[in-house]
Amino acid sequence: MNEPHPIRPRPVLGRLPAYAAGKPPAPVEGLVSYKLASNENPYGPVPAVRRAVERFDAIARYPDPLSTALRERLSAHLGVAAQDIVTGAGSLGALTQIITTFAGTGEDGTPDEVIFAWRSFEAYPIVVRSSGARDVQVPLTADFRHDLEAMAAAITERTRVILLCTPNNPTGPVLTTREVEDFLAKVPQHVLVVIDEAYQEFVRQPDAVDGLDVFSRHSNVAVLRTFSKAHGLANLRVGYSVTHPHVTQYLRVLATPFAVSSLAEQAAIASLDHLEDVMERVDIVVAERQKMVAGLAEAGWSVPETQANFVWLDLGDRTPGSWRRPPARRCPCGASAPRACASPSASGRPTHGSCSCAGSSGRPRTGSSGPSQNARICRSGSRLDRDRRRVRRHGRSSPCTIRRRHRLRRPSCRKEPSACWTLTGPCTRTPGSRPTWRT
């Protein structure tokens, strides 16, 4: 009875990192709660889209598999040929189509390689690995930007695709036109460079790259965009790629039939028809972003230059699965070792035995909430920072302070603070001495 069933999935499934979806918002009486981790649009779609959705009455019909009307509308809007636009179930659907078309395993069984910066969009390693290709993750620079020099140096004869995420999710900085042009000069023509611009509408930096502009000059460049963020249509799943004909012809072969519903198509068209209203809301989010960054700076935080609808808070070792400083495998004191992993999975999360109170909830990012919630976040950011400063000033906290704080902050955690990785960092007790704590 306990024998494993002989139906087995492809071995690659065992190598896929779990997608760490954002934690759902906790209900707070008297307030609208927002989920911060998915960078959604707190204002939702514009009224014209809601009206189009209400009018929709073709639920029993299959959609147009080519999303012809939307591609034509996008063609007029973007100034690119409609046949070079391929729609997908979100830009994630469009990205999956590109990866599965151009990267996998070669005729000799060797995996192709796909290069991207890390940390970046959580889904990249999953999409790449499930195609059979190998993901080559190039760590971000100290200021949370793509390390384009290192990414160019990582190109091998097996490289098929390179992903550039601008603004980068989750850190926020953009790539500039100059940086991308210099980078492309080092990329061989047979390598497809995909510029993921999910947050393009929120960018205000004058020298930021415009993917379509670069696309118009380079035959090995593709662009991804979405209606999920600025247009507030995340649930309807509609995004698209823009590629050159020698790329598009292969994308069509692997297209998932009927990936975009007619409802999503009509909503996207209505949103494009009311772009001024959409951009008015985007402007509000950008203004909130500026306020948020200023509030956090005032509270003592140094956050990366963000051009998206979110802000990255670097909590260092307290970030579950921090990719820059992976936690030590064993606690030096042995017996009470915090169970953390020295070889985090590609997603940066511990692959075994992480403290159960860490969860994926502590993702240190914030954004996409309303003004009053943003103000609350700045205030609690400032409390956190005050806590850190106090510890710095008075030296390390004693174990009992830590225990008290632990219970206060993580009431549901049954572990002793020494076993709770997220709260304390590793215990540095040497056998026989008093415990000390990193904060």
Ligand X SMILES: Cc1ncc(COP(=O)(O)O)c(C=O)c1O
What's the first-to-final CA gap in the chain, in angstroms?
Answer: 48
Q: Which residue is nearest to ligand X (CB)?
A: 90
In 114-170, which residue ranges form alpha helices assigned H by DSSP? 123-130, 148-153
> From CA 210, how far away is CA 198, in angstroms rounded?
12
Shortest gap between Cβ of 314 and ligand X (angstroms)? 18
208: tokens are: 């930021």
215: tokens are: 């696309």
DSSP 11-63: GGGGGPPPP-PPPPPPPBTTB-----TT---TT-S-HHHHHHHHH---TTSPP
Part of the chain binding ligand X (CB under 6 A), chosen from 47-55, 74-82, 226-234, 278-286: 226-234
Pick 220 or 368: Cβ nearer ligand X: 368
Residue 76 CB neighbours (<10 A): 10
CA distances from 1 to 4, 5, 8, 9, 173 (A): 8, 9, 16, 19, 53
Pick 223 or 355: Cβ nearer ligand X: 223
> From CA 163, how far away is CA 158, in angstroms rounded?
15
Out of 161, 203, 234, 313, the only residue in the binding site for ligand X (CB under 6 A) is: 234
Pick 233 or 420: Cβ nearer ligand X: 233
Is 63 a residue that touches ligand X (CB under 6 A)? no
- What is the DSSP secondary structure assignment for residue 84, as one 8-state letter? G
Residue 176's beta-bridge partner residues?
A: 208
Segment 171 to 210, residues that bind ligand X, using CB under 6 A: 196, 198
Out of 41, 96, 228, 307, the only residue in the binding site for ligand X (CB under 6 A) is: 228
Is 41 a residue that touches ligand X (CB under 6 A)? no
Closest CA to 224 of 113, 116, 334, 93: 93
Contacts of 62 (CB under 8 A, 6+ apart): 258
Part of the chain binding ligand X (CB under 6 A), chosen from 87-95, 314-322, 324-332, 429-437: 87-95
Part of the chain binding ligand X (CB under 6 A), chosen from 86-94, 127-135, 372-380, 431-439: 86-94
Is 49 a residue that touches ligand X (CB under 6 A)? no
100: tokens are: 């599965």
> From CA 337, how far away is CA 335, in angstroms rounded?
6
Shortest gap between Cβ of 163 and ligand X (angstroms)? 9
Pick 102 or 121: Cβ nearer ligand X: 121
- What is the DSSP secondary structure assignment for residue 310, as one 8-state letter? E
Are the beta carbons of 207 and 178 closer than 8 angstroms? yes
Are the beta carbons of 87 and 94 closer than 8 angstroms? yes
Shortest gap between Cβ of 335 and ligand X (angstroms)? 42
> From CA 194, how far away is CA 215, in angstroms rounded?
10
Is 242 a residue that touches ligand X (CB under 6 A)? no
Shortest gap between Cβ of 236 and ligand X (angstroms)? 9
Part of the chain binding ligand X (CB under 6 A), chosen from 13-21, 85-93, 133-141, 428-436: 85-93
- Please calculate the CA angle 43-44-49 and round it to the nearest 5 degrees: 130
Is 137 a residue that touches ligand X (CB under 6 A)? no
Is 165 a residue that touches ligand X (CB under 6 A)? yes
Are the beta carbons of 36 and 366 closer than 8 angstroms? yes
Part of the chain binding ligand X (CB under 6 A), chosen from 79-87, 88-96, 274-282, 378-386: 88-96
Part of the chain binding ligand X (CB under 6 A), chosen from 57-65, 84-92, 391-399, 421-429: 84-92
Is 319 a residue that touches ligand X (CB under 6 A)? no
> From CA 189, how far away is CA 202, in angstroms rounded?
30
Shortest gap between Cβ of 132 and ligand X (angstroms)? 21
Pick 230 or 337: Cβ nearer ligand X: 230
Out of 92, 127, 140, 180, the only residue in the binding site for ligand X (CB under 6 A) is: 92
Shortest gap between Cβ of 263 and ligand X (angstroms)? 16
Out of 121, 215, 240, 312, the only residue in the binding site for ligand X (CB under 6 A) is: 121
Shortest gap between Cβ of 226 and ligand X (angstroms)? 3
Shortest gap between Cβ of 260 and ligand X (angstroms)? 11
Residue 365's beta-bridge partner residues?
A: 312
Residue numbers at the binding site for ligand X (CB under 6 A): 39, 90-92, 121, 165, 169, 196, 198, 226, 228, 234, 239
